[in-house]
Chains A and B, each alone.
Chain A
Amino acid sequence: MAEREKAGHVHPLTQIIWEASKIFEEMGFSVAQGPELETEFNNFNALNIPANHPARAMQDTFWLKPRDENLLLRTHMTAVSLRELAKKRLPLRVVSPGRVFRNEATDATHEAQFYQFDGLAIDKPGKITLADLKGSLERFYRELFGQKIEMRLRASFFPFVEPGVEMDIKWGDRWLEVCGAGMLHPNVFKAAGINPNDWQGLAFGSTIDRLAMIKYGIEDIRHFYTGDLRFLEQF
């Protein structure tokens, strides 16, 4: 029997996170991390998401028992962006990759746990604008998917940004949503104890799982979490 040494592989989502971090590092972003267990304040209130917002509905959020402690599993990486903002070390450029949770039925395109990549860049008024957001996101998706990829921004709404946009990339003949973004809302600055008249910046949150699914043509999001080597060794 010949010795057959098998090569090790890092997870495909680790690979996307690594590539994404490198691209943003070139644009001056440091990588931040934070806890998966979050407070209601960091995940919602501070991000201008009032108690009656649809995202607050019980079916979307995993609240911990006992419910009256108001602890939850973070629903977006923007919670880590907020933690970084609240450190008040400005100007600031951070990206935060990590695991997030949504309480929804799972199928080929939905998982209760998945990965997001959030970004925040803050500077003096007029320094970091919607034009920088557009250019930086375009550069990111071009480096990840190839220079010829078509992209578009369109009108959107997220409570923690204003103006708010969504970025789509064209894959085959379809437009796919990959990123929610915008200019950080003044209320978020206030929640972090920062005067919004003095600072301005961009924020975005991109899916990681879906980027990997698009890039490699993976048909089922659940493959990422089963640990099947026949899947993992393809990457």
Chain B
Amino acid sequence: MRFNYKELGKYFVEPLPAVDDLAEELTAHFSEVEEIIPKGDNDWDLEIKILPDRAQDAKTPFGLAREIKALFPKLKPKEIWSLPDKKTARQEIIFTVEQINNLLGIDLTKEQIVDLLNRVRVVVETDLEAKPLLESLTSKSLVALIPVDRQDLNIKEDLADEVARLSGYDQIPTRVLTSDIPVSHNSTFNLANQIRAKLAGEGYTEIYGYTFTNQGELAVEKPLASDKSYLRDSLSTGLKKIVEFNLNRILFDEDEIKLFEIGAVFLADYEEIRIATGVGRKKPKPTIEVIEKKLTDFDLGKASDNLDSFINQQVHYRPVSIYPRIIRDLAVWVPNEIKAETVSEIIKNSASELLVESPVLFDDFSKDGRKSLAFRLVFQSSAKTLSDDEANTQITKVIEALEKQTGFEVRK
């Protein structure tokens, strides 16, 4: 909803608070101001995402002006806005101070609560026919009279919401739940983590596939695309395609692709959690082997369900480029005592960010007191297709850096 700052100002005797202050208070206590649009001449439009429960009363400039008055109590409106009494109230809500404090974890007095509710034109009376609401409650019951325009205020929890938002969430104390109940995780969760730890330890990488597919036993109404109208009835079909996808991008023909997925599949009258593993090779001949089982049928042996050693705390994320890569091999003679990692570092530091995968060592042997190390280098741009010349420039820089080192000789 879009509101105009000057138009809102017409409801008040004094000028409104500065637009940024107004927007900040509205976002914190009422509904998010998504945009402030300058109109020139000290005027602005405010784009406000009115919360669904306030759609009835706050979607007009007058309704929003009433809300602004609640957030800035000192602002004087031009007209007196009527308050509900027993006759005109839309609704009466019986509540106690203790109930409000119990919900919010706060310790407000009756006067503070009444004052906050008055700001949204809720009148509070002491219940003259006070019957104890609940034996456990010690404070006297009160009656909140709700103005006719506030259709959203119906139960004591609604009043607690008004108290919390008007006093400000920064006024709510901070308490952390402590553990006094022994935890007991769902067995599927534990089993899935055991299988993850075991497979990742064996060099398998976990994938998350898509639930929607082009065949299955259950279909959805209004699918996003015609090839996504069914729920998968197996993990294998999707997993096999992903193994194939990755196999087409391996750096060495001898490399293996090892993947797994744990997920739900859908059959005519039940849903089941499965585990599928997929292994793909190009050599000696192209094969993809996929095995799929019920999660509970997986042969686990002894396995920990602790994933701590697979949590990477040192992620330096780089988006995968959509442009083609250029692969170059480089072999260098180094003194026997030089470590491969040292050489790898020199290569990384001398190339630009076009070197996208760390140099991969694929061959090393010693001869005549020297060591030969062979690396595969991958160059790729995130912005365009690289030319051979651009890759050559990178290689030249790497060779120069390597040959500056004593005893290094790039093999040509």
Q: Which residues of A contact B (CB under 8 A)?
A: 1-2, 4-11, 13-15, 18-19, 21, 25-33, 35-37, 53-54, 58-59, 62-65, 67, 73, 91, 93, 99, 101, 103, 105-106, 112-113, 121, 125-126, 128-132, 134-136, 138-139, 152-157, 162-165, 183, 185-186, 197, 200, 216-220, 223-235
Q: Is there a chain A Cβ closer than 8 Å to B157's Cβ?
A: yes
Known A11-B206, A131-B175, A139-B176: A62·B51 in contact at CB below 8 Å: no
B122 contacts chain A at the CB level, 8 A cutoff: no
Contacts of A2 in B (CB 8 A): 361-364
Contact string, B73-107, partner A, CB cutoff 8 A, digits 1/0?
Answer: 00000000000000000000000000101111110
Cα distance, A229 to B30, chains bound together (Å): 45
Closest chain B residue to A219, Cβ basis: B319
- What are 14 pairs between A and B in contact, CB < 8 Å? A10-B311, A15-B307, A19-B311, A65-B221, A113-B211, A126-B102, A132-B177, A139-B176, A153-B172, A157-B52, A163-B104, A165-B169, A227-B246, A232-B206
One of B124-132, B184-192, B347-355, B392-400 at the interface: B184-192
Which B residues touch A35, using CB under 8 A? 264, 271
Q: Select the residue from B196, B211, B364 with max chain A CB neighbours within 10 A.
A: B211
What CA separation (Å) do A5 and B254 show in the bound complex?
11
Q: Interface 1/0s, chain B 133-169, versus A by CB < 8 A?
A: 0101000000000000000000101101100110001
For B220, the closest partner residue in chain A by CB is: A62
> Does B29 have its Cβ within 8 Å of any Cβ on chain A?
yes
CB distance from B281 to the nearest CB of A (A): 13
On chain A, the residues within 8 Å of B357 by CB distance are 230
Taking a contact as CB atoms under 8 Å apart, the answer to whether A27 and B169 are in contact is no
**A25 touches which of B183, B193, B242, B258 (Cβ 8 Å):** B183
Decide yes or no whether B224 CB sits under 8 A from chain A. Answer: yes
- A15-B177 in contact (CB<8A): no
A218/B317 contact (C-beta < 8 A), A15-B312, A99-B211 known: yes
| Across-interface contacts of A53 in B (CB, < 8 A) | 52
A31 contacts B246, CB within 8 Å? no
